[in-house]
Amino acid sequence: MIDAALTEAKAEARRAAFARRKAAHAAGIGPGPCLGRVLAAHRGRPLAGYMPMRTEIDPLPAMAEAAAHGPVGVPVIREPGQPLDFALWTPETEMVAGAFGALIPADPQPMVPEVLIVPLVAFTRAGARLGYGGGFYDRTLEALRATRPTLAIGFAYAAQEAPALPMEPTDQPLDLIVTEAGIIEP
């Protein structure tokens, strides 16, 4: 049974974080070089990023650099309540609108990542992540981590940091957080 107080606490944390993210995005804050530096240490390992939507910080420059050294994928939503699938991506890949408006490859070729750049709404220095509420990344990370080590790199504006977040036992932690201001190791 879902705890109503926890659900409301998460909703309030999302509202506040969305406002902070929107302000950072509107201020024209760029992603900076930190993500590329982190990914350089994992060159050649299968990597999944994401196609930025709305006010999400843009990982595409770092993903393009990574694609020159190994496979890079993007998430594909199969259906609600299920883990994400991933399809190979390069900067030249033809993209089309997928579920929830996220761009996906027109001709998806499956891949399985070992390193994930994870979008988020809010994070803490301890590695807690608050997403959009669908649980896609939590289910995906849980499934991937059950089969092999999987590195989850949260990517966000520094303004998205929260001192604490309401968490559930099913929420998957981040291994690193990268912002335009630096790298946080929980």
Tens place of pLDDT for every residue, the chain, 186 residues?
Answer: 468 888 899 999 999 999 999 999 999 988 889 999 999 999 999 999 999 999 999 999 999 999 999 999 999 998 889 999 999 999 999 999 998 888 999 999 999 999 999 999 999 999 999 999 899 999 999 999 999 999 999 999 999 999 999 999 999 999 999 999 999 999
Q: What is the CATH number of the domain that holds 56?
A: 3.40.50.10420
Whether residue 114 contacts residue 46, with contact meaning beta carbons closer than 8 Å, is answered with yes
The span from the first CA to the last CA of the chain, in angstroms, equals 30
In a domain, residue 70? The reply is no
Q: Which domain holds residue 32?
A: 4-63+113-184
* Tokens encoding 79: 């259906």
pLDDT at 1: 46
In a domain, residue 77? The reply is no
Backbone angles phi, psi at 121, to 5 degrees: -100, -40
Whether residue 156 contacts residue 57, with contact meaning beta carbons closer than 8 Å, is answered with yes
Tell me how many domains the chain contains.
Answer: 1
Measuring CA to CA, which residue among 79, 89, 82 is closest to residue 113?
89
Model pTM?
Answer: 0.95
* Tokens encoding 14: 């999302």
In a domain, residue 89? The reply is no
Instruction: Report the SS3 class of residue 47.
Output: strand
